[in-house]
Chain A
Amino acid sequence: MSGKRTFSLTDGIETGAAWLLAFLWLLPLLYAFWSAFHPSEYATRFDLFAPLTLDNFRTAWSRAPFARYFVNTFMLVTSILIAQFVLCTLAAYAFARFRFWGRDVAFALVLVQLMIMPEVLIVENYRTMSHLGLVDSILGIGLPYMASAFGIFLLRQTFKTIPKELEEAARVEGCGMLQVLWKVYVPLAKPTYVAYGLVSVSYHWNNFLWPLVITNSVTTRPLTVGLAIFGAPESGVDWSIITAGTLLAVAPLLAAFLLFQRQFVQSFMHAGIK
């Protein structure tokens, strides 16, 4: 009755299935690498001895203003992240540690955004942005996301776990309200900031629909929108160049993910469990 032996066959099948799935899940990326690093004759033909080349990357880089798109995406992602950290920290502190009129109603109203994300409200938000004169600006892309219900909720949960005695001790030392927040709460919530930051950066690096709606020039378009225009059939570029452009656009995030894989997975977990 040795359990090990009877399990080994099913174990083998399971391992095989797990790896087949892993291969299928990685296949699109593997293909993109294949096609981007080989001459276009080999884009759809698989030959182990096909010559390697970087020409596709050079061509892609010269055919579209990728440098500008990178700058735009970088500015977008950082401005959203900074604003989210500030706004969500203040609001989360209020919800976690202050008793004020209408707190519970206000909190419920904040959580509405978890369901009704800005993507759903593109029509009205476009109207608002045109009234504010923010159409086709980086601020216009970022503004609807800056007060994030998800961030407020996550930080509130974290702040609630911090012992009140620490706050009282800091008060005795003569710290004001904002100093307490800055010196006690923010440092202790560092893992939550890292987790939320990673989730936010990858979300906004990848976001497409709203940026597409609100931008209409090279000076504001983020990478995703630029890539969609670059890859459109009308622009008449071939597979190898499209995949090279695609890899260029995802390279920073992909590299960061491969380097800090553990941290990424942990962050998504941390953000998901709360």
Chain B
Amino acid sequence: MKCENIRDRFPDYLTGDLEPKAKAEFDAHIAACSACGEELRRLSEIWTKLGVLPAEQPSAALRDRFYTMLEGYKDGLEAEQSKAAQKPRFSFSFRQIRLRRPAFQFAAAAVLVVAGLAGGYGLSRSGGRVSRLSREVESMRGMMAVSLLQQSSSSERLRGVSYTSQLKEPGQGTLDALLLALDNDPNVNVRLAAADALYLFASNPEVKEGLLKSLARQESPLVQSALIDLLVVSREQRAVQALKTLIGGEKLRPEIKKKAELGIQQLSF
């Protein structure tokens, strides 16, 4: 095969797209032709070198901007759909029809009732669609938050926590991920942020349960303090026992002990 034909195949060789038969011919030529071999070596070298160019990460602001844009677009779409659903499809004047006979009048009334019911059903279906869209974006955000909470970078996990605060009704998976972060995250800032985020959902029985269990596991005074506040706000009576157990602990700092005692008093009012 001619050198020219072989050189035409260099790009496919570089991306590993040569068929086995073509690759065998190619290899045989390269082994025998020093000029093509030398050119291929130079091209391969620079092609491989390009791999050292690092893949950069965009800033966190990009993701926030995207979700804001998407929600704005969705809101606009929903507004349009609601408007379209309310707009009559056709119009006519009732004066155009004059029904004199009672039987016709009755039939016309029945038609109008049926049309009204159908219209109402259509509107409620449209409303259902709007709320379904909102639920889906909500669930997408929830998934995002859970995925961010599993990242190795603590700043990503912090962002995951902040995402949960934008959820109106987080799913159990999101709440579990927050409780897990509160219990196990190696970074105290993430644990603290998780405690703050759970404040919004402290009325959820499973969150209450998780907070009670977490109190015994926490060693950082900052997180202990945040949890005491949370339990007091949630008016969870079982917290009294949990706070007493905390006070009985050996390593507890005096200021936290004081706060826990105050918490017991507030819960007993």
Q: Do the two chains belong together in a single complex?
A: no
B interface residues (Cβ-Cβ under 8 A, vs A): none
A interface residues (Cβ-Cβ under 8 A, vs B): none
